[in-house]
Amino acid sequence: MTGFRSSVVYQIYPKSFYDSNGDGVGDLRGIIEKIPYIASLGVDHVWFNPFFPSPGRDNGYDISDYCAIDPAMGTMDDFEELVEALGAHGIGVMLDMVLNHTSTEHEWFRKALAGDERYQRYYYLRDPKPDGSLPTNWVSKFGGPAWEPFGDTGKYYLHLFDRTQADLDWHNPDVREEVAKVVNFWRSKGVRGFRFDVINLIGKPEALLDAPEGTDDRAMYTDGPDVHTYLQWLSEQSFGQDADSITVGEMSSTSIQACIGYSNPANHELSMVFNFHHLKVDYEDGQKWTLKDFDLAALKRLLGEWALGMQEGGGWNALFWNNHDQPRALDRFGDTGQYRYESATMLASAIHLLRGTPFVYMGEEIGMSDPAYTSIDDYVDVEARNAYRALVEGGTDPARAFAVVHSKARDNARTPMQWNAEVPGAGFTTGTPWLRPTNQGTVNVEREEAQGRILPYYRRLIALRQELPVISRGAYAPYLLEHEDVLAYTREHDDSCLMVLCSFRGHDTKVPVPEAFASARILIGNYDGNDRIRSSDELPPVADRLEVGTICLRPYEAIALLA
């Protein structure tokens, strides 16, 4: 394993990676069987979405026992074998810690509901307002009020997500001690990586107040000052004791300034942070459940602002296009038809050569795209179903409501990993898959290994980050911010300078190349065989492509010039 700045992390959604026993659901033994493939990618860590016991209302993010394995996923012996087997390849394990809330099936909540006052203080329990209305006007991120009756006590409990996900009150030192025990339990199993789910929501104020009329209620509970205090304490009590720890915080509706604080090493909080601003550039008026072409100018601006802001403040970004909560980036920002290869490799280049630590979501490396679903019944996710119902009840035509959900649903990324062309299981299962794949006949690992170009390109990008300090540590500067078609930037470290040019369009476009790069060589590119591994003295010169100081980028072309 390497330091987190030169690392690449592979994300696995265990339920959808590989099913070892034919029940249609992925499991730990299935992951163990696929370790040779994971190792072939050259990644340093694997982030696993939760595989703890859970009622499954939010696909595992409603945890009922933090220190056990869901029997559907395997056993603790399986997990320990997984850690050891990955470690034999120099690959670390990163676990998903969902510490903002528990399932209402967790023993803490059940004890609270049974009247145990100690455990009632673990959660946000509030009386209604004097007029009988809910404690605050906050809205759940999954739709509807963020408050639910707490049994027959007359009180309400807070749930910023599904009503079965009760928010923990971190003001209570007993809660903080409990979550530190959870992290330390997994450290004792050899885990050195942790991804903290919506961790910037743990600093809610003790006095929960209404959002003023016309304002966003998220401002009332996001990025509170106590988040830094709690993360510093948790680091001191657990993962901060490990020199080789790697941590990432998922930050909801956050800011650059807050994320500098979370990830600046001087603060002893986290290694890096996820933010989602760049993945909202296809939201109409900032609303997720809308249809809109993505705004390239906004995408460039946001990527640039975060890269520069975090660099200037000493913070560190986790870089990604895809994860288990996002539709596939290939559908959002590329062309899944004529230019599938070019789009997939261009998007990969844009992220992997940027300042930060890249995350690869399973299937991204073979060009997987959104499923060709035709009915809301094809979707399992509670958020998608709630959104569809709300749109229709609000007067949206059902066909358009489905089109909206189909463009943004989280299940788009949760379809099973496509190992081969088999129907219906895509090589993921010998049974009936829990979520149906749709295009495994043309997109699968077996085909990519035999004749594909996307998978080899990803392997090369991953290797380059580990080989070249200019990629893993170089300073970032934007280039051509006003260009309508191209994302471009430079990286500098010691005597090396890298220029990255990425076309987001399906047509030719000309780009000026500074004189300093006229004698540069092409480090990697997705046309003309420039993805092949070469020694530095064999890299082709860019001069062959230049005409009067410009280079003509072809549809969805990516090219990196090393000077």
Which residues does the annotation mark as catalytic?
A: 197, 250
Asked if 99 contacts 168 with a C-beta cutoff of 8 angstroms, the reply is: yes
Query: CA-CA-CA-CA torsion for 318, 323, 325, 326, nearest 10 degrees?
Result: 100
Q: In the beta sheet, which residues pair with residue 496?
A: 493
Q: Compute how many other C-beta atoms are within 10 angstroms of the C-beta atom of residue 547.
A: 9
Q: Measure the CA angle with vertex 382, ends 195 and 370; round to 5°.
A: 75
Q: Compute how many other C-beta atoms are within 10 angstroms of the C-beta atom of residue 508.
A: 12
> How far apart are the C-alpha atoms of 227 and 18, rounded to whole Å?
36
User: 194: which residues sit within 8 A by CB, 6+ positions away?
Assistant: 94, 95, 97, 183, 186, 239, 245, 246, 247, 248
CA proximity to 123, closest of 108, 107, 135, 138:
108
User: 258: which residues sit within 8 A by CB, 6+ positions away?
Assistant: 200, 223, 227, 251
> How far apart are the C-alpha atoms of 261 and 250, rounded to whole Å?
14
Report residue 540 CA to chain centroid gap. 35
Q: Which long-range contacts (CB under 8 A, 24 or more apart) does 107-116 make?
A: 107/64, 107/65, 108/178, 109/166, 112/150, 113/150, 113/151
> How far apart are the C-alpha atoms of 108 and 115, rounded to whole Å?
11
H/E stretch holding 103: strand 101-103
> How far apart are the C-alpha atoms of 393 and 425, rounded to whole Å?
35
Asked if 483 contacts 513 with a C-beta cutoff of 8 angstroms, the reply is: no
Distances (CA, A) of 434 to 16, 22, 154, 512: 8, 11, 39, 50
Distances (CA, A) of 498 to 67, 181, 506: 45, 44, 24
> How far apart are the C-alpha atoms of 222 and 229, rounded to whole Å?
14
CA proximity to 44, closest of 94, 92, 96, 95:
92
Beta-sheet strands, E only, within 403-508: 475-479, 486-493, 496-503
